[in-house]
Amino acid sequence: MKKRFTQVISLFLAVLLLMSSGAFSAAAGPADPIERKLKAMTTEEKITQMLIIAPRYFDGRNVTQLNEPLQKLFERYAFGGAILFAQNAVNAEQIVRLTDSLQKANAKAERPQLLISIDQEGGSVSRLATGTQLTGNMALGAIGKRSAARRSGEIIGEELAALGINVDFAPVLDVNNNPANPVIGIRSFSDDPAVVARLGTSFIEGLHSRRIMTSLKHFPGHGDTSTNSHTGLPMIAKTYQELQQNELIPFEAGIKAGAEMIMTAHIQYPNIDSTTYRSKATGEDIYLPATLSEAIMTGVLRRDMGYNGIIVTDAMNMDAIDKHFDRLDAVKLAIKAGVDMLLMPSAPYSLAGIEDLEQLIADVTALTDSGAIPMENVNDSVRRILKLKSKHGLLKTYETGDLDARIRTAVATVGSQAHHDEEFELAKRSITLTKNEQDLLPLREKNKKVLILTAYANELLSVEYGRNLAQERSLIPEGTEVTIGCYGNTPVQTIAAQIAQADVVIAISELSNAAGLDPAQPAGARAAGIDQMIGLAHRCGAKFIVLSARLPYDSVRFPDADAVMLCWSDKGMSEDPREFERDVPQYGPCIPAAVYMMFANGESITGRLPVDVPAITEDYQFADEIALQRGFGLNYKDYCPACGQAFEQNLWGQVRELIHSLIHVLQNVAAVIRSAGADLFDRLLRLF
Among positive and negative, which fits the CA dihedral 54, 60, 61, 62? positive
Q: How many CB atoms lie within 10 A of CB 33?
A: 11
CA distance 366 to 347: 20
Q: 114 in helix, strand or coil?
A: coil
CB 64 within 8 A of CB 86: no
Q: What is the 3-state secondary structure (H, E, C) of 10-37?
A: HHHHHHHHHHHHCCCHHHHCCCCHHHHH
Residue type for position 89: A
Of 230, 392, 538, 664, the catalytic one is 230
d(CA 44, CA 246): 40
User: Residue 206: CB partners within 8 Å, gap ≥ 6?
Assistant: 149, 150, 151, 152, 153, 154, 155, 156, 157
d(CA 440, CA 661): 23
Q: How far is CA 203 from CA 6, 187, 189, 571, in A?
A: 66, 13, 11, 21
| Phi, psi dihedrals of residue 544, rounded to the nearest 5° | -130, 130
Taking the C-alpha atoms of residue 583 and residue 172, their distance in angstroms, rounded to an integer, is: 27
420 is catalytic: no
Among 191, 192, 273, 314, the active-site one is: 314
Residue 239 identity (one-letter amino acid): T
User: Does residue 122 sit in helix, strand or coil?
Assistant: strand
Backbone angles phi, psi at 280, to 5 degrees: -75, -20
425 vs 416: CA distance, rounded Å: 15
DSSP-derived pairing of the beta strands 213-219 and 167-168:
parallel
What are the residues facing 450 on neighbouring strands? 482, 504
Residue 598 and residue 476 in contact, taking contact as beta carbons nearer than 8 Å: no
CA–CA gap between residue 259 and residue 189 (Å, rounded): 17
Cβ–Cβ < 8 Å for 622, 553: yes
| H or E element in which residue 568 lies | none
Question: Is 554 labeled as catalytic in the residue annotation?
Answer: no
The count of other CB atoms within 10 Å of the CB of residue 110 is 9
| Cα–Cα distance for residue pair 455/32, rounded to 1 Å | 60
Could you give the CA distance from residue 34 to residue 53 in angstroms, rounded to a whole number? 23
Interatomic CA distance for residues 569 and 418, integer angstroms: 21
Nearest to 505, CA basis, from 444, 465, 563? 563
3-class DSSP assignment, residue 234: coil
Q: Provide the annotated active-site residues.
A: 230, 314
